[in-house]
Amino acid sequence: MAKCGLISLKIKFMEKQYQFSYDQFDSIADLIPEESALMERARARAHHAYVPYSNFGVSAVGLLENGTIVESTNQENASYPVGICAERVLLSTISSVHPGVAVKKIAISYYNPNGTDMVPIAPCGMCRQALQEQQLRFGKPILLLMSGQQGAVIRVKDSGLLLPFQFSSEDLQR
C-alpha cells in the first residue's frame, strides 16, 4: 500500500520478464555455409545503399523457401521520414515480385564510413513489426542473421522474438 499525503492507494501488479535465446558467433566463418553466403552478400550489398545524407548503408538479403535470394538496401530521401529501411524494402520487394513465397532467412548488415561497422545491427521497431506481419502471413518463423562488415554475427531463430508485444490483425478485431 502506498501513501500519498491523505490518500492511500492500493496498487496491485505482477512483475514479469521477457527473455529469449539467440546464438552469437565470433565470425562469419562459424556459420553454416548457407548462412555464411547470405551474410557475405549482405555485407557486400550494404556498400550500394542509396544514403547520400547519412552515409549509413544498411542491407537486407533474404532467402526464400523456393531458394531464391533477394537483396535490398535502405533508401534515403531529402525529406527524411520518406526514407525506407532495407528490411522493409526487402519484404515489399518479395511480396511484389514473389507473391505467396515465404521468407526463410534474412541477413542484415551495414556500412558506416564515419564510425564503426563491426557491431551487429538489429532491425528498428517498424521493421520488427513488418517482419512479424510477414511471419503471421505465412505461419512460419523468419531466421535473422545480424552483423556489421566484420566480426560477430547474431542469429535469432524467430524474428518475432525481437518484438514481444506485437500488433496484429487480432488487435483490429477488439
Q: Which sequence positions are flagged as catalytic?
A: 87
Residue 4, C-beta contacts closer than 8 angstroms, at least 6 positions apart: none
Burial of 102 (0-12, 13-18, 19+ CB in 10 A): middle
Instruction: Please give the span between the terminal C-alpha atoms of the chain, in angstroms, as a whole number.
Output: 33
Burial of 147 (0-12, 13-18, 19+ CB in 10 A): buried
Residue pointed to by grid coordinates 550494404: 46
Q: Strands 69-73 and 57-64, how do they pair?
A: antiparallel
